[in-house]
Structure 1
Amino acid sequence: MSETTCGGSYEECRITADWLLTQTQVRPTVGIVCGSGLSALAGMLKDQKVFKYSDIPNFLHSTVRGHAGQLVFGTLKGKPCVCMQGRFHLYEGHPIQKITMPMRVFKLMGVKTMIMTNAAGGLNQDYKVGDFMIIKDHINMPGFAGVNPLAGPNDDRFGVRFPCMSDAYDRELRQLAHDVAAELGYSDFVRDGVYCVLGGPNFETIAECRMLHRMGADAVGMSTIHEVIVARHAGMRCFAMSLITNRAVMDYDSQERANHDEVLETGRQRAKQMEVLVSTMVARLKDDQNDDANSDANNDRNKS
Structure 2
Amino acid sequence: MSPTDATADEISAPGPDAGTGTCPAPAGDATVRGADRSSARSTDHEDTLDLRLPDELVALFETRHLGGGDTGTDSAAGTAAAAAAGYERQSRGDDDAAPVSLTPARDDLLDGVAQWGPVTTPAGVFQLVPVRVERDLPLVCRWMNDPAVAAFWELAGPQDVTEDHLGAQLAGDGRSVPCLGVLEGTPMSYWEIYRADLDLLARHYPARPHDTGIHLLVGGVTDRGRGLGSALLRAVADLVLDKRPACARVVAEPDLRNIPSVTAFLSAGFRFSAEVDLPDKRAALMIRDRFLRDLL
Question: Which of 1 and 2 has greater Rg?
Answer: 2
TM-score normalised by the chain length of structure 1 = 0.28
